Amino acid sequence: MQKLHRRFPDAAITAAFKWMIIASVSAGVAVMHMQSPPVNSLSLEFLTDVCIALEKLEMDKSCRGLVVTSSQPKVFSAGLDILDMYGKSPEHCAEFWKAVQEMWLKFYGSDMITIAAVNGSSPAGGCLLSMTCDYRIMADNPRYSIGLNETKLGIVAPFWFKDTMVNTVGHRTTEMALQLGLLYSPAEALKIGLVDQLVREDQVLTTATETMTKWLAIPDHARQLTKSMMRKPTIDKLTSNREADVNNFVKFITKDSIQKSLGMYLEMLKRRKA
Ligand code: CO8
């Protein structure tokens, strides 16, 4: 803990999980620092930790706002952990997908004010995670990108990824973005409304906590009911189809052709590194 306090001098560490630190920066606001090296890919274990942490925060009535950010350099989150979908048994894939659903349901349906402090690249599931938040602030660094690039891996974003993006940037933009697997630069993302604000990299977190103050000024009950009114139909679509969605995922992801695409994509990531 001592070491952690040195790393987060302005914050009280309220919980330390294997893959994240929850710190409270001021009354009623928590910050989730994701730290699953090297790229915060959302593995089954990481997703489980995230869900437990979120549940705890949700139950803590003194906690009204949550900022989500990354402790890893250059990356907010690399999206779903491909290794949890590659060469794994159908049972593992089903368990993994349930955890992905759970994360989305918890974040998208959260009563808290949620702000994504996107301080690095955020492809696929990373983009989804940021889109579940109420507001997105991204580092203005042209090296970073954000978007749902699933088709580039030869896979297809499920309907609730699509719905989340439609709710964020509209139907036409989503249609093109999803088919082409577009990853946007921060400036492009701002233009289409995929993020709400760009700031200098070293100001992402402070801007997020400042923005939170504005949102905290709104009475919780009115804001929460409004959020629920906007998001409930999208959430209900998944909750009433969870099992079918898991079965679809497992059937799709375990196909030989899809496994081959994922294998090639992993190879490409390694080659690019070399
Ligand atoms: N899963 C697992 N491992 C990953 C992932 C990932 N998503 N992303 C990167 N890694 C690994 C790399 O292979 C590399 O491993 P190693 O060190 O063993 O060679 C290590 O992490 C570091 O990666 P990089 O060297 O590429 O790190 P950089 O800092 O240069 O780049 C990026 C960071 C930009 C995040 C880059 O790693 C990248 O583009 N990653 C791929 C991101 C991606 O395409 N994610 C898509 C995941 S799929 C998803 O989220 C939704 C799926 C929906 C499923 C629907 C089916 C029906």
Mean predicted confidence (pLDDT) in 18-30: 84
Predicted pLDDT of residue 27: 79
Catalytic residues: 80, 125, 149-150
Count other C-beta atoms under 10 Å from residue 22's C-beta. 21
CA of 240 to the centre of ligand 1 (A): 31
CA of 150 to the centre of ligand 1 (A): 12
| CATH number, residue 115 | 3.90.226.10
Whether 2 has a pLDDT exceeding 90, the answer reads: no
Whether 79 has a pLDDT exceeding 70, the answer reads: yes
Greater confidence, 6 or 174?
174
Residue numbers of the domain that contains 243 = 2-273
Yes or no: say if 107 and 66 are a contact pair by the CB < 8 Å rule: no
Phi-psi map region of 79: left, alpha, beta (phi>0 left; psi -120 to 50 alpha):
left
Domain count, the chain: 1
Predicted pLDDT of residue 15: 80
Predicted pLDDT of residue 144: 98
The structure's pTM equals: 0.95
CA of 91 to the centre of ligand 1 (A): 23
| Ligand 1 pocket list (CB less than 6 A) | 38-39, 41, 74-75, 78-83, 121, 123-125, 149-150, 153, 155-158, 249, 252-253, 269-270, 273
CA-based nearest residue to 34, from 73, 4, 82, 69: 69
Predicted pLDDT of residue 8: 58
Residue nearest to atom 24 of ligand 1 (CA): 273
Split at pLDDT 50, 70, 90, the class of 17 is confident
Split at pLDDT 50, 70, 90, the class of 7 is low
Residue nearest to atom 38 of ligand 1 (CA): 78
What is the Cα Rg of the chain in Å? 18
Average pLDDT of the chain to the nearest whole number = 94
